[in-house]
Structure formats: structure tokens, C-alpha cells
Amino acid sequence: MPGDALSYLTDPGADIPVRMTEEKREILLAYYGLDKPILEQYINYMVGITRGDLGWSIYYSAPVLEVILGRLKWTLLLVGTSTAIHVTLGILIGAASAWAHGRTKDVCLLVSILSISSFPSFFLGILMVIFFGIKLDIFPIGGAQTAFATYQSPFGEIFDILHHLILPAATLVISHIGGTYLLMRNSMLGVLGEDYIMTARAKGLSERYILHRHALTNALLPIVTMTAMTIGFMIMGTIFVETVFAYPGIGNLLYNAVLYHDYPLLQGIFLFMTIAIVGANFLADMIYVRLDPRVDHE
């Protein structure tokens, strides 16, 4: 990305361009340590990271770590809640759909899920705001908490946070459920064709028992991998939902960091992203071994 935080401020195309003399500019660059050679800056940054110092956000004028941690809790809440819901719903509906394979129920479920997942998340979010936030006026239209609110009890605060969470979480659930549903349906169809399902039927086990004990558990394996792989991307994907709902999360922060050319902040966000993706994949591998003991012996 060409330009630095200062050239963003002094850009004549900006809304309010700041005039700056050459000396002033050099003083500021020296203040942030941006005048040193790239290699020295890099070494300083890496040494800083080992001490938990991710640098200084130029736009927010605060330590990067502090800025990110302040936003991270909201994104984790949003992504965590919606992942839990969309995975559970996706598994249940996908399994029901595969179980009724070829019948009207399956076709109806398939068409309706494919249809709702065709909505881009920001468009869905806007519709949610208009219907539930303005027309019906039952949910707040933005933010993560009521501004300047004082709460009588901790329950009041929790209720307020949940109240703000419902619309953005619902938007994320709807826009992500399609992937889980399709994967579960396909995986289940594959399992239903396996020989051990036929054996179970031949033994005279009840359909219910076969569905729960034989089919569902085995069909779940790919879902674990997929959930872990998408969770990292979901954190970034919240950028649209967070923009629509003015939700103070990481996606929103990233967009601002790009806009204001705040490099230290961008680096910090990417570092956290990487940790989140690697961590999620590691967790998936651990769970996978527990779910499918065959993997362990390889």
C-alpha cells in the first residue's frame, strides 16, 4: 500500500487535508521511528513482539495490542455465537434433508437453504435493520451496547449486549448456514450408501437408532474440519456485517486501518488473524483424533 499515515493526512484529496512543512513531517516520522532503515524497523518490531509489544497505532494513538483486544472480544462474541448456531442448525437440517433424500421434504429444504444463502451478508443485514430495527422497532439498529448506559444489575448489561447481538448474529448465521447444510447433506448421503448402514438395517435396528448412532456420528467428521477452516475467514468476513450494524469488532477495525494507512495496526490485526486460523486448525486436528480414532494410528 503506497503512502504512510502522514501522507494520508496531507493528501490534498482528503476531506480535510492537513498542511505540513517538510521539517514538521520529518520530526513526526522520527517520533514514530519511521525514518530508520527498514531492516532496523523490522528488528525493533520483532523484538517488540517477544515482549508483547505490537507497536503504536498511529490513528488511534494507543498501543496496538490494547486497540485490538478492545475490539477482539466483540468479534469473538459475534463469531462464536453465530458459528455455534449455524453449525448446529446446519447439521440438523442437513441430516434431516439427507435422511429424506429425494422426497419433497428434501427438495423443499434444499431450495430454501440455497435461496437464503444467495443473499450477500450486507444486503441481508440492511433488510434486518429495516424490518426488525425500524419497522418493528424491537431490536437496536447498531452498536454492541447502548451508549452511556448505566445498568442496575449485571443482568441488565448482559441483556443489553444480547439484545444488540441478535440481529448481526442472525445475519451471519443465515449467510453461513448454506455451506454447513450442503456439506452435511452430502456427507450424510455418502454415509447412507456405506455397507455398515445396510448391515445395521439387516440386523433389524430401528431407523432412529441407525440415524443417530451409525449415520450422524460418522457424517459429522467433515463438518469439524470445515468449521475450523471457515472460522478464521469468518472473523474477516464480519467486516460487512460489522459495517452495516456499526458493530465495534475486528472487521470494522481492519477497514479503518486500511483507510487511515495505519500500518502498525494492520500488522497487529494480521498477526491475530494468523494466530486465530492456526489455532482453529490445531483445535480441529485434536478434536478429529478423538472423534475418529483411526486417524491416530497413521
Partner 1 sequence: MTEGRKILGSIGLGILTIFVIVAVLAPHIAPYDPHQMYRPMEHPSSRHLLGTNDIGNDILSEIIYGTRVSLFIAFIVSAISMLVGTSLGLIAGYFDKLGFLIMRVVDIFLTIPRLPLIIIIAASMRPSIWNLIAIFLIFGWTMTARIIRSEVLTLRTRYYIDATKMIGGGDFYILWRHILPNVIPLVVVQFIMEAIHVILAESGLSFLGLGDPVARSWGMVLHYAFECPIIYVSDVWMWWMLPPGLCIVFTVLGLTFVGYALEETLDPRLKNPAYGREL
Interface residue with partner 1, options 28, 96, 229, 277 (CB under 8 A): 277
Q: How far is the CB of 96 from partner 1 (least distance, A)?
A: 16
In the numeric block, which cell numbers belong to residue 239? 467486516
Interface residue with partner 1, options 33, 120, 156, 279 (CB under 8 A): 120
Residue 291 binds partner 1 (CB under 8 A): no
| Burial (CB count <10 Å: 0-12, 13-18, 19+), residue 294 | exposed
Residue 115 binds partner 1 (CB under 8 A): yes
Interface residue with partner 1, options 69, 84, 158, 259 (CB under 8 A): 259
In the numeric block, which cell numbers belong to residue 251? 472487521
Interface residue with partner 1, options 24, 36, 73, 101 (CB under 8 A): 101
Characterize the bridge pairing of strands 56-57 and 62-63.
antiparallel
Residue 215 binds partner 1 (CB under 8 A): no
Nearer to partner 1, 32 or 233 (CB): 233
**Residues in 137-196 at the binding interface with partner 1, rule: CB under 8 A:** 141, 183, 186-187, 189-194
Residue 263 binds partner 1 (CB under 8 A): no
Nearer to partner 1, 157 or 288 (CB): 288
**What is the binding site for partner 1 (CB under 8 A)?**
1-3, 101-102, 106-107, 111, 114-115, 117-123, 126-127, 129-130, 134, 141, 183, 186-187, 189-194, 222, 232-233, 236-237, 239-240, 243-244, 254-255, 258-259, 266, 269-270, 273, 277
